[in-house]
Structure 1
Amino acid sequence: MFSNLLSLRGVAAIVNIFSRQTKLQRNVPNLTNFSTTSVACVNFFNKLPAEKLWKSVTSVSNAGAKKGRGKGAGRIRIRDLNRGQVIGIGRINMLWPGLSAPVIRGRELLKQQRLPDDPERMEKLTKLRDSMTKFRRLRLSPIERGWSGTRMPGRSIGPPDPIGEDEFVGFDTKVLQLRSLLIMKGNLGRTRNYQAMVVTGNGQGLAGFGLGKGKEAVAALRKAKNKAGQKLMHFEIYNGHTVFHDFYTAFGKTKIFVQKKNEGYGLRCHRAIKEICQAIGIKDLRAKLEGSNNLQNIVKAFFIGLLQQRTHQQLAEEKKLHLVEYRAENEYFPTVVASPSKVRTKEEILKDETLDFIQYVMDDRVILRKKKFPRFYEKMPHYKIYLKKYEKYRNHEKIRLMLKTEYGEVKSFLNDRYPEEKVESEA
């Protein structure tokens, strides 16, 4: 095309020169002074990229949201319309060498040609696009679920990232809190950030907690998890299942009363304290929360209380007295738990000195226990009749437990005197 234009211009120039020299009046147009205009096919669909077009129908501005606009914008899901399509293949099934097929196949040079139409192509594309619009609910197993549905608090996010060659083997991280924060800045306006709080531990007395922030929830969780792995603390566990003693701890306006419990009692406490106990390896404990239920204050207060608890040997050395334990299942038989290196005499003990173990470890604090009011039926006459009938059975459970402990079975003292009765009863 360009060679033809150049030849026309050359011919026109020769004709113009010849006409001037010969002074011929010819109606020859001046072909050297023509101009070309290019027309660009620009419309709404090719002026903007697909991301901006989808954003216009799936989002709303802050000012519009305040006025109530775009209430149904969140229901529309972005679809990738290029998915399922191949370059060089369209409605008309053509073979384009170098685009949809190789130029040379074997020793044959391929040529542009039309192939048979595929009647199922549009049906497959429509089915694929419709599948992208369907919302798939996140399915989690009961073990992987958190405190509430599929939300992050209470869920496991794995061990912290390794530091160099050191890996956190046997560690598991649980999310305690994940919330969004709106921060106002002078140059960016109101921006959204995320804050996460997690606890990590190996279940053998080693645990730590961390707080992380980020523009995305995943980044905040990763920062918090790695911070928790860098701030590990070791806690001693009494008999591998509970704390050493009852204690009181507080942080801010949050107060926690922790009680030591027997094996098999379980964890009866706030869900955040339960996750911390599982990370440390504590299996039996009761914790009563008073005051503010701010989660970060609860976590900090409980960790402070665990760090401040003392072993039985430390308490014995501190008081310079023997530490004796009385248990109901042992008929309150005294058992020496710890003894100091040097014991004080009776004359050295002060008259107003605190000798009660629970009162001493609680710093003379007394837990307020509400009085149990009598039930409505206890004042009725039929309840007194019930008590009179039940009076002869009231110690049967204790005696049954004692006989099983002493003889291995429930039997009378007459079984040894009359063994034939025992054989008949077994038969």
Structure 2
Amino acid sequence: MSFCLRSINKTIQHTIATSRWNLYPILSQVKVFSSPKIIIGNSTRNTSFFNKLPADHLWKGITSVSNAGKKRGRGKTLARKKDLNRGQVLGLGKANMLWPGLSAPIIRGKELVERQQLPEDPEREKKLIQLRDKMGALKSYKLSPLERGWSGNKMPGRSIGPPDPIGEDKFEGFDTKVIEFKIVFNMKGNFGRKRRQSTFVVTGNKNGLAGFATGKAIDPKAALRKAKNRAGQKLMHIDIFRGHTVNHDFFTQFGATKIYVSQKPEGYGLVCHRAIKTVCEVIGIKNLYAKVEGSTNVQHIVKAFFLGLLRQKTHQEIANDKQLHLVEFSKDNEYYPKVLASPTVCRKADEIRHHEVMDFTQYCYDGRIVLKRKKFPIFYTKHKSWEVHLKKQEYLRNLDKTQTYLRAEYGELKSFLTEKYPECRPHKVPPKEKTSEEE
């Protein structure tokens, strides 16, 4: 590319001659060439090729297959797309700081949240490496049996740790478990269909202190954190009878959900709906039976169960209400009567009205009856061979109970003819003689 500057020189000389202005400063900045020069220009690229394309286009280059190739079965062993930002949460890093407005709400309740240092997680880097190693794998990520929830890797039933500390108050000994984890939609006039994650959790210290709450957010982790912290602010105290069960049987209801709860002895376990079992674990109840009737909405089940726990009466309140002694007959105590509470003024037998409910279970259930499934006889009881079997085993009926009674009464198995006929005694196996090696 070449330029000629001779015509420019003539134009400048003509302008100087005809102009009244002083153009020496201008001419001092203009460099006039007497001969033409050749200027060579090279095209340059100031940006990299990789900076122009997003990550999805780059991953597409090594993970995509044409439609014709998919039909022929190609691309089954290609690399899988990996999310290199997985496990990295905005506002949470190695320092593990609590940033208001970023990793925590600005206002919690009536308190303004301040920046604070949370306990360090020594296994943070290890968990990130495990997440990245498992990315792109064909098989799904498996949890250990202790970390699993109600069904596989899904969130309901899983533990998410204690709520975040509020100021100097730390939730030591608390554990939070997820009850419900679902996606909800809300239609807006200006934003359209708004999608959010809804979580329902329950938290407790396994010693009678528990609470539940709901949290909604676009990010699932934010929804879990919000619900967990709200549950920590709504704690309720619940009485636990002898540290393992409820005070008494009770009936509770919320909406269309009805629950009949029964008190059980130690060692019975939690025989109930899985949502009630999860609530009992965080509260500290170990032995319980609960029958759910009607709707099985987990939120209604949890709310109904908490209502029943809070409406429990103490034994003294029951005794004062009925003006009678409250006596316990337990199988563990060989049904020996034990007085649990006595009223200030006790009624006599002639003062009790004929239509009054005296059954303790009916009194606790407020006159309701549990709907039980009808029990049908076992199929083989209708056969003729079963009748023959019963006739053959007739002489052995109650044999175990009779032997136990005789040993307790006489110290040995004997009958009323033993004194007259000493040979009417069971054969005793002689003790085994000890060998020299055993001695």
TM above 0.5, yes or no, is yes
CA contact under 8 A between 1:159 and 1:171: conserved in structure 2?
yes
Map 1:4-403; keep pairs closer than 5 Å: 12=5, 16-17=9-10, 41=45, 48-51=52-55, 53=57, 77-78=81-82, 133-135=136-138, 137-328=140-331, 332-398=335-401
Alpha-carbon distance in 1 for matches of 2:299, 2:210:
16
2-structure distance, mates of 1:158, 1:204? 16
CA gap 1:29/1:215 in 2 versus in 1, 3 angstroms: same
Describe the SS at the equivalent of 2:393. Answer: helix
Q: Which has the higher helix share?
A: 1
**Distance in structure 1 (CA, Å) of the matches to 2:211 and 2:200:** 11
Helix, strand or coil at the partner of 1:272: helix
> Which segment drifts farther, 154-163 or 363-372?
363-372
**What per-residue deviation string (whole Å, max 9, x for no partner) do you get for residues 290-330 of structure 1?**
11111101110111111111122210011111012234565
Q: What secondary structure sits across from 1:153 in the alignment?
A: coil
Deviation at 1:424, TM superposition (A): 6.0
**Root-mean-square deviation over aligned CA pairs:** 4.2
Shift of 1:345: 2.8
Unaligned 5+ runs, structure 2 = 15-33, 63-75, 85-131, 433-439
- The normalised TM-score by structure 2 is 0.67
Is residue 80–residue 137 contact of structure 2 (8 Å, CA) maintained in 1? no
Report what 2:413 is aligned to.
Answer: 412
Paired AA for residue 346 in structure 1? A
Q: How far apart in 2 are the matches of 1:202 and 1:257?
A: 25
Unaligned runs of 5+ in 1: 1-7, 22-27, 59-71, 81-128
- Count of aligned residue pairs for this structure pair: 346
CA–CA distance in 2 between the matches of 1:18 and 1:184? 73
Q: Sort the Cα spacing of 1:18 and 1:289 in 2 relative to 1 into closer, same or farther, 3 A.
A: closer
Distance 2:402 2:203 in 1: 46
Amino acid at match of 1:412: L
Q: How far off its partner does 1:141 sit?
A: 1.5
What's the CA shift string for 1:379-413, capped at 9, x where partnerless? Answer: 22211121123333332444566689x69xx9536
Judge which range, 382-391 or 301-310, deviates more.
382-391
The SS at the match of 2:252 is strand
Q: 1:394 to 1:245 in 2, by over 3 A?
A: farther
Alpha-carbon distance in 2 for matches of 1:351, 1:146: 51
Note if contact 1:54-1:78 (Cα within 8 Å) is conserved in structure 2. Answer: no
CA contact (8 A) 2:210 2:235 kept: yes
| Percent of residue pairs bearing the same amino acid type | 48
Instruction: Report the TM-score, using the length of structure 1 for normalisation.
Output: 0.69
C-alpha distance 250-130 of structure 1, shift in aligned 2 (>3 A): closer
One-letter code aligned to 2:413: S
Cα distance in 2 for residues equivalent to 1:379 and 1:312: 47
